[in-house]
Amino acid sequence: MNSTILHIEDDQEIGSWVSDFLTERGYEVIWLNSGQNAMEHMVQADIVILDIMLPGLDGYTIGQRLKQKYPEKPIMMLTARTSIEDKLQGLSFADDYMTKPYHPDELEARIQILLRRSGVVSTDLMQLGHLNIDRKANRILNTETNTEIVLTGKQFHIFMYLLDHPNQILTQRQIYEAVWEEPYIKGDRTLMVHIRHLREKIELDPSHPQIIETIRGIGYRLKL
């Protein structure tokens, strides 16, 4: 079942763009121009994306009321206000605070993190293209061949780290230091070699990878 996002944004261009993007990514989106009727949509919402500058009650007031009534539902502040005072006020009740402008892939990645934390998206079972992933059992199944894919320890940890940061560009340093737990030395090709072998196991066509994308000069991104 698709997750439902309650998006409260009065700017027509931004609201339409965000709603269209998230709908294309498979979410159900309820878009409101103000917080006036927000409470009545909270039962079906899995997460709230909330602007601060709204007509009538501002986002702080609306967010606090929603959080008080539905403390288990994550709220993300999505706003152009970047001062530390605004961020601290927002994070006093919200689960995340993201400022405009932003990259849409980062927005979706943060949504996925909040949904996983709240238990809406299972962290144990997931489908990624032709891969059926059971993280609890450390098992990856190729559904096209109905065969299990066996990864080495480092390959598995790299893959799980990428899965924890979907659609997010990760530097080689970030991945290496998270997996090896030691400082990354620029020019070290260890990670590159492991990524190549990982692709040979999980990609349908390793020469044209569709799951783990190379971001030239930076690192890698796992595409959902």
Secondary structure class of 99 (helix, strand, coil): strand
Say whether pLDDT at 126 is over 80: no
Q: pTM above 0.75?
A: no
Say whether pLDDT at 224 is over 90: no
Q: 123 pLDDT band (50/70/90 cuts)?
A: low
- Angle (deg, nearest 10), helices 190-202 and 153-163: 80
Say whether pLDDT at 111 is over 60: yes
Averaged pLDDT score across all residues of the chain? 91
Residue-wise pLDDT tens digits, 60-87: 999 999 999 999 999 999 999 999 999 9
Find out whether the peptide bond into 101 is cis, omega within 30 degrees of 0: yes
Q: What is the DSSP string of 78-136?
A: EES---HHHHHHHHTT-SEEEESS--HHHHHHHHHHHHHHHTSS-SSEEEETTEEEETT
Nearest to 94 by CA among 81, 165, 190: 81
pLDDT for 115: 87
- Identify any residues that bridge with 99 across adjacent strands, giving them in sequence order: 79
Is the CB of residue 31 less than 8 Å from the CB of residue 15? yes
Average pLDDT over residues 98-119: 86
Q: 174 pLDDT band (50/70/90 cuts)?
A: very high
Residue-wise pLDDT tens digits, 41-66: 999 999 999 999 999 999 999 999 99
Residues 6+ apart with CB under 8 A from 124: 134, 135, 136
Give the angle 193-165-170 at the CA atoms, nearest 5°.
50
**Range 186-193 contact pairs with CB under 8 angstroms and sequence separation of 24 or more:** 191/158
Q: Picking from 7-16, 100-109, 124-133, which range would have the lowest pLDDT averaged per residue?
A: 124-133
Quick one: what percent of the chain has pLDDT higher than 90? 73
